[in-house]
């Protein structure tokens, strides 16, 4: 995959402390981070997603919001190249899945979610989990290279998780696991970070702390677009700029968050009258 132009992504310094993002120049800033065109996914005569158009431009941070069964999981699988579209195109930084090296494209997308978590062995140390993210490997069978360990230590420190570096996965709390998963997703210096329902299973205090971290991520990771998949508006922190609403495998609406996230739109999304409130920390929703 060729890299040209001026758009910046994050590479991690391997010397010095604390960890700071460093700019490297991949593709032109005119190229979308992510582009989905007329995406259709059908399996066993059932249409899961139909005619979906969606684009993430550099500097944007998106929320994908929708009820269970809306197509969020299938869209995620298509974005990461694990679910081949029935028709349509999925492109990352100008490279199209199916026409380019999928393994290389996956490295441009950092993923933190239950699909990754379910594959990690309970005995795997947090430091090795993160180091494996440099090459996209889960459950290392030998000690990581020093360079990968250096990156892992710095990422854990940046995400305030240094204290769990040597602890096995099976001994981590849910909140600690989420930070380790994000660190792993960032280890390959992706252009796009996808967080799949990251607050699932968190207790109220851990959820509050995680949302504080989530709100800081775009500022800490200049050049990395963040996409949050959720069905809770309370998890939409001020750092997010845009939202995609999915219902029954179709796009209900998409665009700037302040324009799209309204009581009227959410009433259509959930099929029940909604009262949406916006406050300093984010959003809250109640049933009318």
User: What are the two backbone dihedrals, phi and then psi, of residue 38, each rounded to the nearest 5 degrees?
Assistant: 50, 40
Query: What percent of the chain has pLDDT above 70?
Result: 90
With a cut of 80, say whether residue 22 has pLDDT above it: no
Quote the CA–CA distance of 288 and 278 in Å, as a whole number. 16
Q: What phi-psi label fits residue 109: left (phi over 0), alpha (psi between -120 and 50 degrees) or beta? A: beta
pLDDT of residue 7: 30
Tell me the fold of 1-108+190-288: Rossmann fold (3.40.50)
Q: Which two tokens stand for residue 126?
A: 């947090």
Q: Where are the domains of the chain?
A: 1-108+190-288, 109-189
Average pLDDT over residues 216-241: 93
Structure tokens at 24: 């490297």
Cβ atoms of 226 and 172 closer than 8 Å: no
pLDDT at 65 over 60: yes
Residues contacting 142, CB < 8 A, separation 6+? none
Position 2 pLDDT exceeds 70? no
User: What's the mean pLDDT in 185-207?
Assistant: 93
pLDDT digits (tens, 9 = 90+) for 156-194: 999 999 999 999 999 999 999 999 999 999 999 998 999
């Amino acid at each position: 995959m060729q890299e040209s132009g001026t758009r910046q992504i994050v590479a991690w310094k391997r010397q010095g402390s604390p960890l700071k993002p460093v700019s490297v120049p991949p593709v032109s800033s005119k190229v979308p981070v992510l582009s989905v065109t007329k995406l259709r996914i059908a399996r066993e005569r059932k249409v899961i997603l139909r005619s979906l158009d969606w684009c993430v431009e550099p500097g944007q941070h998106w929320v994908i919001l929708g009820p269970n069964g809306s197509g969020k999981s299938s869209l995620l699988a298509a974005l990461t190249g694990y679910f081949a579209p029935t028709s349509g195109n999925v492109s990352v930084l100008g490279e199209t899945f199916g026409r380019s090296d999928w393994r290389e494209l996956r490295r441009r997308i950092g993923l933190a979610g239950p699909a990754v978590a379910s594959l990690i062995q309970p005995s795997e140390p947090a430091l090795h989990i993160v180091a494996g993210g440099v090459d996209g490997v889960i459950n290392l069978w030998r000690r990581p290279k020093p360079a990968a360990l250096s990156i892992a230590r710095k990422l854990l420190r940046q995400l305030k998780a240094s204290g769990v570096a040597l602890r096995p996965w099976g001994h981590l709390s849910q909140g600690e696991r989420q930070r380790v998963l994000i660190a792993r997703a960032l280890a390959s210096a992706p252009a796009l970070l996808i967080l799949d329902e990251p607050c699932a299973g968190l207790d109220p205090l851990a959820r509050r702390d995680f949302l504080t971290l989530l709100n800081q991520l775009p500022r800490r990771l200049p050049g990395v677009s963040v996409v949050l998949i959720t069905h809770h508006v309370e998890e939409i922190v001020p750092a997010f700029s845009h939202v995609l609403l999915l219902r029954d495998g179709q796009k209900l609406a998409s665009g700037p968050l302040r324009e799209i996230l309204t009581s009227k739109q959410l009433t259509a999304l959930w099929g029940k009258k909604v009262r949406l409130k916006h406050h300093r920390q984010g959003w809250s929703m109640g049933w009318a």
